[in-house]
């Protein structure tokens, strides 16, 4: 295709956008609303997934050792746990540190209730905190640690704790949340596709007489199609840019005004930088492609003269 022909198609496509003002406005508005709704649920799904990841990341195993265990045995157990491939981090918690944590968790009452429990009188054991690369592997790692204890005749580990029932329920809930969010976004994307394509069809149908006349005077199918492709792309791009701008502006304000309060609950929203390219890029790309697709399937019908 010659460059002059390409520029002609682009020019005509943009002229059509301006020439059909109200239809263009209606089409862009419909696209913007459809993609805005989709974008809201995308942002919701991303933040729900982040919350689920935060909850998963806090899952860890507590490994309690014998009260009279020797330092060399502590080091040996630590080395054995670290050799488990699924283990990300092993943190030693001395009995003194454990007592301090317990005292802090009880607040002012803890200072009086735990007074005198120092050094030799400390009733707490040394322990390890074990984190996994994949929180879903916590139960498997706990079994591996139990196996280490069974193979040692001195049985240095007294208890391996990770809240089995609670963790299993937690993972069930977080996985369900992720799956539900995915299917909601997918369903809304399909709905947006039909709404946008229908809107573009209405724009083309309103000009079916123009298409028929061009066909009758000898214009080729591609000559007729290209300006409509450009017009559909412009309408789709314009509507998606509008919805993206509103979404990101609103989300930015939401993050700014709620960070302090939400932060108290140890929950953090995804940052604007984290969602901007994914949500914005998806919406703009989807809107533009659907604009072209809607024009393609709509014009095809009226080229058969």
Q: pLDDT tens digits, residue range 116-142? A: 566 666 678 888 989 888 887 888 888
Domains and CATH numbers, the chain: 3-56+170-302 (no CATH), 60-161 (3.30.70.3040)
- Beta carbons within 10 angstroms of residue 101's beta carbon: 12
The phi, psi pair for 271, rounded to 5°, reads: -70, 160
pTM above 0.95, yes or no: no
pLDDT in tens, 247-286: 888 888 887 776 655 444 455 677 888 788 888 888 888 8
State the DSSP H helix or E strand holding residue 117, giving kind and residue range, or none if neither: none
Confidence category of residue 104, pLDDT binned at 50, 70, 90: confident
Contact status, residue 188 vs residue 37, Cβ threshold 8 Å: yes
302 and 208 Cβ atoms separated by less than 8 Å: yes
Q: Band of the pLDDT at 303, cuts 50, 70, 90? A: low
Helix axis angle, 208-216 to 221-263, nearest 10°: 150
Which residues are registered as beta bridge partners of 62? 129, 161
Q: What is the mean pLDDT of residues 75-90?
A: 89
**Residue 71: its pLDDT value, please?**
87
Identify the H or E element spanning 92: strand 87-93
Summarize pLDDT for 168-188 with one digit per residue, the tens: 676 677 777 777 777 777 776
Number of H helices, E strands in the chain: 10, 4
Dihedral sign from CA coordinates of 232, 233, 237, 240: positive
How large is the average pLDDT for residues 46-70? Answer: 79
Torsion of CA 20, 26, 29, 35, to 10 degrees: -100
């Amino acid at each position: 295709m010659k460059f002059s022909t390409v520029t002609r198609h682009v020019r005509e496509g943009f002229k059509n956008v301006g020439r059909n003002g109200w239809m263009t406005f209606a089409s862009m508005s419909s696209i913007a609303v459809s993609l805005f709704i989709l974008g809201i649920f995308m942002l919701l799904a991303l933040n729900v997934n982040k919350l689920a990841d935060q909850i998963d990341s806090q899952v860890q195993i507590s490994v309690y050792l014998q009260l009279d265990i020797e330092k060399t045995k502590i080091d040996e157990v630590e080395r054995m746990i670290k050799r488990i491939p699924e283990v990300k981090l092993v943190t030693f918690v001395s009995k003194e540190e454990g007592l301090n944590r317990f005292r802090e968790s009880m607040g002012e009452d803890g200072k009086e209730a735990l007074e005198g429990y120092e050094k030799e009188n400390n009733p707490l054991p040394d322990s390890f905190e074990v984190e996994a690369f994949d929180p879903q592997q916590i139960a498997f790692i706990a079994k591996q640690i139990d196996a280490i204890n069974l193979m040692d005749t001195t049985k240095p580990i007294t208890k391996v704790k990770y809240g089995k029932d609670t963790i299993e329920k937690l993972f069930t809930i977080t996985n369900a949340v992720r799956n539900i969010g995915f299917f909601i976004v997918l369903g809304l994307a399909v709905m947006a596709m039909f709404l946008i394509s229908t809107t573009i069809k209405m724009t083309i149908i309103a000009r079916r007489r123009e298409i028929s006349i061009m066909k009758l005077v000898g214009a080729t199918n591609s000559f007729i199609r290209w300006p409509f492709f450009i017009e559909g792309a412009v309408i789709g791009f314009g509507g998606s840019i509008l919805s993206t701008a509103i979404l990101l502006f609103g989300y930015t304000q939401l993050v700014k005004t709620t960070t302090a309060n939400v932060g108290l609950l140890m929950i953090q929203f995804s940052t604007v930088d984290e969602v901007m390219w994914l949500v914005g890029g998806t919406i703009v790309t989807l809107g533009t492609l659907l604009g072209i697709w809607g024009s393609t399937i709509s014009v095809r019908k009226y080229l058969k003269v």
